[in-house]
Amino acid sequence: MSKYNPYENMLHVLDRAAEKLQMQTNDYEFVRHPERELTVSIPIMMDDGHVEVFSGYRVQHNTARGAAKGGIRFHPQADENEVKALAAWMTIKNAIGNIPYGGAKGGIKVDPSKLSPRELQRLTRMYVRRIAPFIGPDQDVPAPDVNTNGQIMAWIADEYSAMRGQWEPGVVTGKPLTTGGSLGRNEATGRGLMFTLENWCSKQNEQMEKLTMAVQGFGNVGSVGSLLMHRHGVRIIAIGDIDGSLYNPGGIDVEAAYIYANSHGRSLKGYEEKGSSFIPNTELLKLDVDILFMAALENQLHNGTMQEVKARVILEGANGPTTEEADAYFAEKGIEVLPDVLANVGGVVGSYYEWVQNKTGYYWTENEYNDKLQKNMKQSFEDVYAIKEKYHVTYRLAAYMLALKRVVEAQNTRGFLG
């Protein structure tokens, strides 16, 4: 069996979107290829004195609509194809959110849990030195992703600023408040997912208070999203993380689980709650719930797991959790997928807000931030829904169609050279 290639998966959906829009290959061929792919070696001295070299990546997929934008992940399985796909998905997401960004993504092949804080900082700063000629507030703006956080973003901003000789907070988003971060940004992706589910409920005449949910992944996106949806009445009966899946058919006390996980390294290991037990992670996807909230990593719903899914709706918090084969299977079975490029767009929309505040030097209240996010998420959902209804396609295909149309129009307006 050949290795799953997420970039090929993205291209197949893009081609189907172009076909539905009756675009010719010449109309959108430029979107099928990243503008720039950068691979760097990152040598750092470890605490014991030996030098280790890590591989790093930064891909700028498309900048027709504005500066490249996308996160940086530290993960042992990060590679060129993964980062390329993530960069392309950012192009799609930014166009759906209708913000003036193109798509980018970065990564380092590393397990950060095996590094000391000093090694992690040295790795981050050397990575910035390697990619510095290609990033900047008006060129390419990174952000947090898997295994990166506000502290790492602060190191990036500081290293880049030291190289420029002036403070440049807008070079990266997702920073702590003390270094130009934005109130509301940390919760933006999870809050955006809650707004997506709310918008879906409105279209389906469903009530969030009557929905049941199982959650795969309890990091920032999964925990914040779960907490907010729980507060809106959703009964969450299972939460899975790397150490196992907490199961309580009567509903988990998500407030307590959130506090515990955030004080125990994002893990629910050792958490106890009356009426709950731990089940194997493989069982979580099989639960009979209304919503399956996928908030872990890509390629989780595939040929080996898709037939076990009993949920009515799949809410994608992670990037690329559903393979193309599984997507087709769910469409055939009438299981709706609220795709990553629509559902988790709140993160990059929130990053855009932080970037705007950095550039203007004027900072909003958290309520102002959240109000803007809610309006943007509603408009994005309405735009995708209109195409879905007009062409009788899935949410994912409608999202790609909307994004492709906007990217092609931007490039055609700017014009081609050559």
Contact 68, 38 (CB under 8 A): no
Beta bridge partners of 69: 103, 141
What is the spatial distance between Cα 128 and Cα 158, in angstroms, rounded to a whole number?
Answer: 10
Residue of 226, 240, 361 lying closest to 296 (CA atoms)? 240
- What is the Cα Rg of the chain in Å? 21
What is the spatial distance between Cα 150 and Cα 158, in angstroms, rounded to a whole number?
Answer: 12
**Can you read off the two tokens belonging to residue 115?**
């590094």
Give me the tens of pLDDT residue by residue for the chain, a chain 418 residues long: 456 688 888 999 999 999 999 999 999 999 999 999 999 999 999 999 999 999 999 999 999 999 999 999 999 999 888 899 999 999 999 999 999 999 999 999 999 999 999 999 999 999 999 999 999 999 999 999 989 999 999 999 999 999 999 999 999 999 999 999 999 999 999 999 999 999 999 999 999 999 999 999 999 899 999 999 999 999 999 999 888 899 999 999 999 999 999 898 888 988 999 999 999 988 999 999 999 999 998 889 999 999 999 999 999 999 889 999 999 999 999 999 999 999 999 999 999 999 999 999 999 999 999 999 999 999 999 999 999 999 999 999 999 999 999 999 999 999 975 4
Contact 21, 390 (CB under 8 A): no
In angstroms, how far is CA 80 from the centroid of its own chain? Answer: 17
Residue of 142, 146, 170, 154 lying closest to 38 (CA atoms)? 142
What is the per-residue pLDDT for 3?
Answer: 63
Name the average pLDDT for the chain: 95
- Per-residue pLDDT reduced to its tens digit, 244-281: 899 999 999 999 999 999 898 888 988 999 999 999 98
The domains of the chain, with CATH numbers, are 34-170 (3.40.50.10860), 188-343 (3.40.50.720)
What is the per-residue pLDDT for 1?
Answer: 40
Q: At 299, which amino acid appears?
A: N
What is the spatial distance between Cα 316 and Cα 187, in angstroms, rounded to a whole number?
Answer: 16
Q: At 145, which amino acid appears?
A: D
What is the per-residue pLDDT for 417?
Answer: 54
What is the per-residue pLDDT for 297?
Answer: 82
What is the per-residue pLDDT for 146?
Answer: 86
Active site residues: 105
What is the spatial distance between Cα 330 and Cα 25, in angstroms, rounded to a whole number?
Answer: 28
| Alpha-carbon separation of residue 118 from 8, 199, 313, 339 (angstroms) | 37, 44, 43, 38
Residue of 367, 363, 365, 372 lying closest to 180 (CA atoms)? 363
Residue with tokens 């691979």: 39
Has this prediction a pTM greater than 0.85?
Answer: yes
